[in-house]
A and B are shown apart, each in its own frame.
Chain A
Amino acid sequence: MDQAIILEKSIFIFTIFAITMLAAMYSTWAERKVAAWLQDRIGPNRAGPLGLLQPLADGMKLFSKEEFLPNTPNKFLFVAGPAISMSVALMTSAVIPWGDKLIIGGRTVILQATDINIGVLYVFGVLSVGVYGIMIGGWASNNKFSLMSAMRAASQMISYEVAMGMSLIALLMMSGDLSLKTISEQQAEWHWNVLYQPLGFIIFLVCSFAETNRTPFDLAECEAELIGGYHTEYSSMRMGFYLFAEYASMFISSTILAVLYFGAYNYPGMAWAVEHWGVNAANGIGIAVLFIKICAFIFFFMWVRWTIPRFRYDQLMRLGWQGLIPLAIANIFITGVIILWHDGKLF
């Protein structure tokens, strides 16, 4: 294989990894700041200016804590739980198109780690495997509260995966392709999918809240009933990994929402910018636009957390199975009828 490609991809993958980690780190800071802002407090402001070094301080604290291993017969699985959660949270970023292309020294650099034909399905596959981290960790803790919390998390994630997949089907019927790159190219200028699939977008958004275990669906961690949730028995950096994985998956969820429904790196006037300012400048703005969209979604996640109280378990299940899934099926049906009508094949 061309060595330049290997080098290029390695640098790219490393950059994405670093960005995801950084985003996850600063999401913890942003969460506190947003919470403080919404509750009329100041928030973290001791470590560095505006408390910007707070995530580093937290990391240091977690690293220096005692690594406690509970008396469990499954030591290996206990350690494997957070590891699975963390690696799964970081794997999805491989197929996300972060931009169209850049021209560096005469080479065209595609801003995507790999463009596989089945990008959307890959994201889905990784997502569905993510449940294992929580389940295995919760079970191996040898603690009934951890186990109950893991069960809650798993059943919630499985239930909402169904609705999520169905809301995506309507989108895929329009795009006719599973590659995330093609989907983002189709949304050039103002043709963002959210304008064509508003209902699908809302279903997908609700489901991503459930998939990332965020409020109002954070039943797995509800303190009043289950102590700390599936990570009750974890301490030190192992717990840090679980928390970190949650923020990393929030970042990735926001990215996928932006890519699938909010036009990825496209912005109105991009073709004009390519023509007048050159490919690099236009795509640089494109990357910036994508990150602005991602940050907006992350902010939305936090905003909802401090606005809507937690659901009850039966409410959660009723919403998933009796609300979102029928809606998603109706959405598929309507989309199908409209596509046929548009193609003139209906009558």
Chain B
Amino acid sequence: MSTVLIIFFILSAVTLATAFLTVFTKNPIHSAIYLVLCFFSVAGHYLLFNAQFLAVVHVIVYSGAIMILFLFTVMLMNLNKEDEVHKPRTTRLAAGIIFILTCLVLLAIFIQTKPIVGPYDDTGVDYQSIKVLGNVLLNEYMVPFEFASVLLLVGMIGAVLLSKREKTEKK
């Protein structure tokens, strides 16, 4: 076995194990920490593809920003068994349906993809360089890029709106 293959197996084992532990752990903080580990091993997979930029951005965005905010919230909330809100039956039903639909979408994706990768042509373009990446993003993929930025903006405004206290009986 080549070294890359061995690393791949180790990484995959870590990814899967931590992903399952995230779901099955009772303690929400342990669960969040397992998710962080899972993200790290996914970044390792990107590195195996020689996608350094993607790997580091993944670490910065997911492990460094999103999961920290996540942990933050979980640590400040009192998540004991006794305080847990009883979830009504309709919510559980909706969750089940959404889960099945997601599974269907994922299955469809897996069936559609071709697992055998075609020959990789190295065209002499350095795909690690941010100059190339920027050119591709802002020329070829301009519209999706702008859509993504609009989506982020909407998310941001929504977060501000939700966190703002409603002014009711003042004045």
Contacts and interface: CB of A to CB of B under 8 A. Distances in A.
Question: How many interface residues does chain A have, given as a range?
Answer: 20 to 34
Contact of B75 (A129, A135, A161): A135
Contacts, number: 64
Given A118-B53, A151-B75, A154-B72, A125 B128 contact: no
Interface stretch (B56-64, B89-97, B100-108, B110-118): B56-64
Tell me if B's interface is mostly helix, strand, loop or mixed: helix
Most buried by A among B52, B129, B130: B130
Interface of B: 29, 33, 36, 52-53, 56-57, 59-60, 63-65, 68-69, 71-72, 75-76, 126, 128-131
A135 to B, nearest CB: 6
A139 B75 contact: yes
A139 B75 CA distance: 7
Given A121-B53, A128-B59, A128-B64, A147 B130 contact: no
A118 B130 CA distance: 9
Interface in A119-165: 121-122, 124-125, 127-129, 131-132, 135-136, 139, 147, 150-151, 154-155, 158, 161
Interface of A: 77, 116-118, 121-122, 124-125, 127-129, 131-132, 135-136, 139, 147, 150-151, 154-155, 158, 161, 172, 176-178
A117 B64 contact: no
Nearest to B59: A125
B52 A155 contact: no
A124 B75 CA distance: 24
B64 A125 contact: yes
B81 to A, nearest CB: 14
Which 6 A-B pairs rank lowest in CB-CB distance, beginning with the nearest? A128-B64, A117-B128, A125-B59, A121-B56, A125-B56, A125-B60
Contacts of B75: 135, 139, 147, 150-151
Given A125-B59, A128-B63, A178-B130, A135 B71 contact: yes
Most buried by A among B53, B69, B72: B72
Contacts of A129: 59, 63-64
A135 B59 CA distance: 17
A117 B53 contact: yes
B53 A158 contact: no
A28 B76 CA distance: 34
B24 to A, nearest CB: 17
B98 to A, nearest CB: 30
Nearest to A135: B71
Nearest to B74: A139
A158 B59 contact: no
Contacts of B129: 117, 177
Contacts of B72: 135, 151, 154-155
Contacts of B53: 117-118, 121
Contact of A116 (B36, B52, B57, B71): B52
Contacts of A176: 130-131
Contacts of B64: 124-125, 127-129, 131, 161
Given A136-B33, A155-B72, 16 more contacts: A116-B52, A117-B52, A117-B128, A118-B53, A118-B56, A122-B56, A124-B56, A124-B60, A125-B59, A128-B59, A129-B59, A129-B63, A131-B68, A135-B68, A147-B75, A151-B75
A325 B69 CA distance: 19
Contacts of A135: 68, 71-72, 75
Given A117-B52, A118-B128, A158 B69 contact: yes
Contacts of A132: 36, 68
A158 to B, nearest CB: 6
